[in-house]
Structure 1
Amino acid sequence: MSRPDTLWVRKLGRQPYEPVWRAMQHYTDIRDVNSPDELWFLEHDAVFTQGQAGKPEHILMPGDIPVVQVDRGGQVTYHGPGQLVGYVLIDLRRLSIGIRDLVTAIENSIVAVLASVSIVSHPRSDAPGVYVENGAKIAQLGLRVRRGSTFHGLSLNIDMDLSVFQRINPCGHQGMEVTDIRRQSAAEPQSQNELADRLGAELANLLGYLHRREVSEHCLPDASGVL
């Protein structure tokens, strides 16, 4: 089983949650040793997703926002406008890494991107994700491994309506403060496209890929990489 040297990157624009989730599952289920490793960047319509460890009491007031029970790790989180989501679909066995290595690489890539816009941040050993100096959470992380491959991924808060997070206990933590790039940086927030480019480059480098290949078509793949 040869180690892949290219990470394929797809920018999918704004998408409803469930069709993309089902596409991730399908890609993971039918991929083989020749299927490319992929990174999907997008923005979701407003949705709460409840992970496998989720407890109903952490969903306080969902109101008109749908709640979707999903198969990633972790508890409840929110996806919506103003947030960059990145789904990481890689074969861990081909890269010869474990899930902890991948989590560390994702967190460190986010920290590097935030540093590029003058935001100091750090991961926490007791709670996956990335946090700013006052303890507020600026990026979320949740993964699933199936057949040796990962799906789900990360979300980075850029310029959001943060009041939505008051409807839940974010990631199961009561009263956790959530923030975004706009509130933490004096500079004008960069576009989602620019931040996706930086994040993709950082993650590819930390995982040891030699190349990134951006797919121009804004559509979901099959497991062969053929559109």
Structure 2
Amino acid sequence: MSNAKVAVRYLGRQSYQKVWRAMQDFTDNRDQHTLDEIWVVEHDPVFTQGQAGKSEHLLSTGDIPVVQVDRGGQVTYHGPGQLVIYPLIDIKRAKMGVRQLVTNIETSIADMLALFDVSAYPKCDAPGVYIDERKIASLGLRIRKGCSFHGLALNVSMDLSPFLRINPCGYPGLEMIQCKDVNGPQNVDEAANKLVPILVKSLGFTETTSIQGLAKHYE
């Protein structure tokens, strides 16, 4: 994918369902000439339950809505202070397999944290990124028509207590941690500024353009 260009779209804080529907629409309507995009966003509080999700992993969701979604994986939480990045990539055009996409995302997160002297790692049997067996980033992807959507969620500086209302990613007792508590990036903007360039390079792009907000027809 030499000399490949990607548009990085900064969405600010948005409701989950609005961005999810926009991701679906973008993927359904793109063609072989559509420029790949990477969406950077924070979400209002929400639990999302993947296609394999089991209700037993929803312990006490309370006033936080639960959305059944079309990505892989079980249940997770999104909320303010968490960096969410959606790579909307034509992986067929890029000649990249799903496993390679996952590896590139996980490695990018670990490489970003290494800039802060934080030792993080992926696990082959449980997608995401971990520090001392505690989870700092989650992954959930969907491939449609050879193109990816959904993506990664990195805990940066947030209220982690909603994770106690679920079995995160289907693992009872899994401890979730965040960047600010391990001397990593202290806010979402800092995390995005460090992670996006690493992710862009890891996915094989050599030219980047930045866009603010969703396309008008999604607003």
Report the TM-score range of the alignment, normalised by the length of the smaller protein.
over 0.9
CA shift, 1:3, in A, is 6.6
Measured against aligned partners, the alpha-carbon deviations of 1:41-90 in whole angstroms (never above 9, x if no partner) come to 01000000000010000000000000000000000000001100001100
Please name the residue that 1:167 is paired with. Answer: 165
TM-score (norm 1): 0.92
Please name the residue that 2:126 is paired with. Answer: 127
TM-score (norm 2): 0.95
Q: Contact conserved, 2:108 with 2:195, CA < 8 A, in 1?
A: yes
Please name the residue that 1:183 is paired with. Answer: 181
Please name the residue that 1:23 is paired with. Answer: 22
Identity of aligned residues (%): 54
Q: State the SS of the aligned residue for 1:18.
A: helix
Structure 2 matches for 1:49-88, cutoff 5 A? 49-88=48-87
Counterpart of 1:42 in structure 2: which amino acid? Answer: V
CA shift, 1:221, in A, is 6.8
Please name the residue that 1:99 is paired with. Answer: 98
CA distance in 2, matches of 1:38, 1:88: 6
CA distance in 2, matches of 1:123, 1:67: 27
1:219 aligns with 2:214: yes
Q: Please, what is the CA RMSD of the aligned residues?
A: 1.8
Q: Contact conserved, 2:40 with 2:86, CA < 8 A, in 1?
A: yes
Q: State the SS of the aligned residue for 2:34.
A: coil
Q: State the SS of the aligned residue for 2:138.
A: strand
CA distance in 1, matches of 2:81, 2:191: 12
CA distance in 1, matches of 2:213, 2:18: 14
Please name the residue that 1:198 is paired with. Answer: 194
Q: Contact conserved, 1:4 with 1:36, CA < 8 A, in 2?
A: no
Q: State the SS of the aligned residue for 2:73.
A: coil
CA shift, 1:184, in A, is 1.1
Please name the residue that 1:40 is paired with. Answer: 39
CA distance in 1, matches of 2:215, 2:106: 25
1:140 aligns with 2:133: no
Counterpart of 2:105 in structure 1: which amino acid? Answer: I
CA distance in 2, matches of 1:51, 1:34: 30
Instruction: Provide the aligned length of Structure 1 versus Structure 2.
Output: 219
Q: Which ranges of structure 1 fall in alignment gaps of 5 or more residues?
A: none
CA distance in 1, matches of 2:36, 2:117: 30
CA distance in 1, matches of 2:198, 2:98: 18
Q: State the SS of the aligned residue for 2:205.
A: coil
Counterpart of 1:57 in structure 2: which amino acid? Answer: E
Q: State the SS of the aligned residue for 2:38.
A: strand
Q: Which ranges of structure 2 fall in alignment gaps of 5 or more residues?
A: none
Runs (4+) of structure 1 moved beyond 4 Å?
none
Q: Contact conserved, 1:52 with 1:71, CA < 8 A, in 2?
A: yes
Q: State the SS of the aligned residue for 2:200.
A: helix
Counterpart of 2:205 in structure 1: which amino acid? Answer: Y
